[in-house]
Amino acid sequence: MGLGFQVTFDAHDPARLAEFWAAALEYQVQPPPPGFDSWETFAQQIGLPREQWDAFSAVIDPEGKGPRVFFQRVPEGKTAKNRVHLDVNVSQRGPAHHDAAERRRVIAEHVDRLKALGATYQREVDEPHGYCVVMQDPEGNEFCVQ
């Protein structure tokens, strides 16, 4: 078995990106540890300075199968194209997996949902090896919906 990993995004607003990616991936914002009713209560308990309470957020797969996605506040903005990006595989389930027209419909539906949440459409890629829509999340990180 391979090693576990998490994907980490630098962000200006970790909570906003966590909400976006929870919806994009059908994940959930990670709840606070057992025994704590909020992340603020946990942060206070461990002595995290108040100005850092909103510096982090994370989303997790509710079924526990996919990697955790962590968001950390950084002062600098995004300045170049991503060297790594996520492919959101919405067409891998059900009839969309085998039918090209259904696959495009499912992709378009998810793209519209993500645009309503603040994503930006960039372009379509339609090549012999596959079809996807390239987008940017609310902070400009590129990703593909396929």
- The range of the structural domain enclosing residue 141 comes to 86-145
Q: Which residue has the tokens 């079809």?
A: 131
Q: Are residues 99 and 68 in the same domain?
A: no
Q: Which residue has the tokens 């059900």?
A: 94
Domain CATH for 30:
3.30.720
Is the overall model pTM greater than 0.75, yes or no? Answer: yes
State the total domains in the chain.
2
Q: Are residues 16 and 68 in the same domain?
A: yes
**CA-to-CA distance for 133 and 110, rounded, in angstroms?**
10
pLDDT along the chain (146 residues), means of 10: 90 97 98 95 94 96 96 90 91 78 94 98 92 96 96
Q: Please state whether beta strands 68-73 and 56-60 pair in parallel, antiparallel, or not at all (unpaired).
A: antiparallel
Q: Which two tokens stand for residue 21?
A: 């990616």
Q: Which two tokens stand for residue 133?
A: 């829509």
State residue 79's pLDDT score: 83
Q: Is residue 79 part of a domain?
A: no
Q: Is residue 1 part of a domain?
A: no
Return the C-alpha torsion angle 120, 73, 29, 66, nearest 10. Answer: 80
**CA-to-CA distance for 18 and 14, rounded, in angstroms?**
6
Domain boundary among 73, 94, 120: 73
Q: Are residues 99 and 137 in the same domain?
A: yes
Q: Are residues 38 and 66 in the same domain?
A: yes
